[in-house]
Structure 1
Amino acid sequence: MVQPLGYLKESASQTAGPYVHIGCTPNFVGIHGIFEKDLGSGSLYNEQTRGTRITIRGTVFDGGGNPLKDALIEIWQADDAGFYNSPSETRGSADPNFIGWGRSPGDMETGEFVFETIKPGRVPFKDGRWMAPHVTFWIVARGINIGLHTRMYFPEETAANAEDPVLARIEHKNRIPTLIASKEGDSTYRFDIRLQGEGETVFFDI
């Protein structure tokens, strides 16, 4: 017999605390012997991966403009053809040589995170319209009760960004640039994330 579960209450949320790195990236904090390498660390591609290799660098800043040195960032994205490395991907086959997900702790001195990945292809929105190439970010750190979601778009994709249905939903258009990376050299993109204050990054409730 099915029993009602209405008496079960949601537990209170808590910040990630100083233990997030111990649990998620033990090698990074000097705890060795548990995993050969931290889950999600390293390059998202190998020698056989299709697509353009890129590097994403950035820093998470607090409301005072100070870098968060204990932030943990995860990304996930489509491959160069726009397919996700996921069991829920039903449109086609994703590149088996592309992981599609990565995790990077911020440098403990500078707060900078780094990802070695490829430039993603376009993927459809739920209504069939095409979204611009983008990378999804998830950020946790002390003081953040619930992980923050945002996106990084590419500055050279002007036409695709202009018709992206998610960017079109942002009411204050002057905030859209907070989601667009800047390019440094031929293959490096900088995407700084600001939690509060001037230039606050747009975050999504998903």
Structure 2
Amino acid sequence: MSAGHAGSGRPLPRLLLLTDRAQLAKGRGLAATVRECAAAGLEAVVVREHDLDERCFGALVETLLAVPGLTVLTSRRPHPGAAGLHLAAHQPAPTTGRFGRSCHDAGELARAAAEGAGWATLSPYAASASKPGHGPVVDPGLLAHPGLPIWALGGIDETRAADALRHGAAGVAVMGAVMRAREPAGVVAALLAALDGADR
């Protein structure tokens, strides 16, 4: 289930879930949703929630750190308990710690690799309902990057997840397809099955 290495830490799994509580169905809580997804096989989450103040953000991260078997990464701002930091394309690389970067073209991927990033997301892989009009879509040939494990992000469904692996991706990252789902755990299970099937 794992692919690629993020710095000196353990390998990141093939499926990364990026959070966005604003997309959740009415009545759904973010922590409970992530726990359900973890029960369905999710092994890693990137906590975004950029609008939260430091106290609330820290409390959310601590809650998710308590989920058994779940690797917790944070987006744009560090947390001492997190397994790593996922940076925006424009942010400077940290001097210490495990980090990855959001990338959108070959130049940004080259920069991430030169900085020593342990992973990158490449987006948009396909048209995304979470960010309509964001694009153009990336060249899937960029997913096979020597020395930098890349997760395809944007418009990921079961077919595109398997396709991304065939193009050389280390895995896929997903946000809206899970966050907006009536049954998020079911979407996670289906994506994991598609990723497993891509190797057969």
TM-score normalized by structure 2? 0.27
Larger Rg: 1 or 2? Answer: 1
TM-score where L is the length of structure 1: 0.26
Larger proportion of helix: 2
- Answer 1 or 2: which has greater strand percent: 1
